[in-house]
Structure 1
């Protein structure tokens, strides 16, 4: 592997992070990207903080080993349960010049620009909702401008997407049910965050059951926009990201299984490599 190969690493427990990577590549196509999906151990959402932290750290260290100086945790569960510990506890010992970023903070930072009522809903996996990461991050940015946050766990949405049931009556049933339950918590909600990287594939269905005045925030475009801004503000990091325009895809599961499903999330077919963590 060339010493000049310093890709931006993108990690997810499975496939969902490919929706984020797609948006990032669309906005910043010049960089090299290295995607790692821990498909053999997915889902992370039902696992403890300790296990998610352990698995995520293993993936981050592997991406560092393969030349990445910047890694994005394109996974809400990993961002919720592992990011802070890795940033504060591990990076100073591994290499204080490297960076690990998540997807929750960029999504939350967009809220003040969008909400008028200050009442925000979050649709997420059970693990992300239980972590309380969104309400905690929203409280940090809403000093002086109080934002009320309401969450709804949607445990059936990821299986619907991964089993390619999008657009079926079953998908409609569960999406309508969860959207309705979220909106019943507060009639003033005017902004809804999709707190899982699988959910953009359900966005058309979600919009069917969401009143038109409610803004729907998808993480991919937001993360891409914030990453572009981050690299502009941190030239010392940007200079360590190689610009060969290449994309590599790694999975801890079988390559065949990964390639069969990954195209649905990435928007085009791709070739993957198997890796052990």
Structure 2
């Protein structure tokens, strides 16, 4: 439907304003006549019965003190539904008292269209993890419109995921009514950057990078560097100590066996036991 509104100025209460319509190139016909209120305003709701190109105008016949006037012509395209929207046609009529008449313009305004899903936005937390085959990063996939604003999914949406390094679920589902879904990326033992890509039918894909950084390991007997997968230290030949009694490294906060002389994570020498 179309809402036609206007104001007669200076205000004329009880004035009869004629709203006219025609197809482009045709003859004017009277759509309706409306009466202004105490402030000179009028309104009318019109539902076109056919598609096509139309023109609208408002006409006032004047009174003994004011000349007649009419608004400028406004064009209107009527299309088949969907989409459905309400067009507000604002018609303002201005009349110069006693001397001359000035017609105000007709304005057409459409209600803003409902935002549509446009793309997937992908973020990672944290963006750096150890390349130890165990550390993880949470991957969040958001549904956004063309302006980057989050949107709630109108259906259960399947999202395909891939990563150039590490492991991640191949698909996740964004539930209806939700605007995001998450997955877990597990680091590989290869140092470098993993590029995570999310895609879904009809949407622009999104991606994010996660850095797999080197995790150092130190012998807890001699303090020398040793491979992450080594069972014994290549420098001193001893296996890492074990036991249920543990302590906290004062340098990095790692939890290590009570008997460790060096921290396995940072390599710091541990204080001598007081016992």
Q: TM-score, normalised by structure 2?
A: 0.20
Q: TM-score, normalised by structure 1?
A: 0.20
**Rg larger in structure:** 2
Q: Which structure is higher in RCO with an 8 Å CA cutoff and minimum separation 6?
A: 1
